[in-house]
Amino acid sequence: MNRILAFLIAMLLSSTVAPIVSEIVADNDTGLQDEDDSFVDWVELHNPNDAPFDLKDHFLTDDPTGKPDRWTFPAISL
C-alpha cells in the first residue's frame, strides 16, 4: 500500500506522466483483424503528455518476477 501511495504522489508531483494502457484485447477471436486478416491480441497506449515518450527499454509482462521483459516494445516514440 505504501508503494502505491508513493507512486501516486510521485505522479501528481511530476510534470510528466507515463503512457497509459487505455485498451487491452487479450483473447481476440472475433474482434478487430490485423492487416493479415488475423485476430491477434493487442494493447493500445496513450501518451497524455505534450512531449514524446520513447518506449525503448519498456516492457509488458504477465510474470513480473520470472520474466519482467516478456514483451519488449520497439524503440518508437508515442
- Domain extents in the chain: 17-72
Q: Are 39 and 27 in contact (CB under 8 A)?
A: no
Please give the grid coordinates belonging to residue 61.
509482462
- Mean pLDDT, residues 15-23 taken together: 81
Reported confidence tier of residue 3, pLDDT bands at 50, 70, 90: low
Q: What pLDDT, on the 0 to 100 scale, is given for residue 75?
A: 92
Q: What are phi and psi of 22, to 5 degrees?
A: -95, -20
C-alpha cell at 54: 520513447
pLDDT of residue 38: 92
Phi, psi values for residue 44, rounded to 5°: -110, 130
pLDDT of residue 11: 58
pTM over 0.75: no
d(CA 59, CA 55): 8
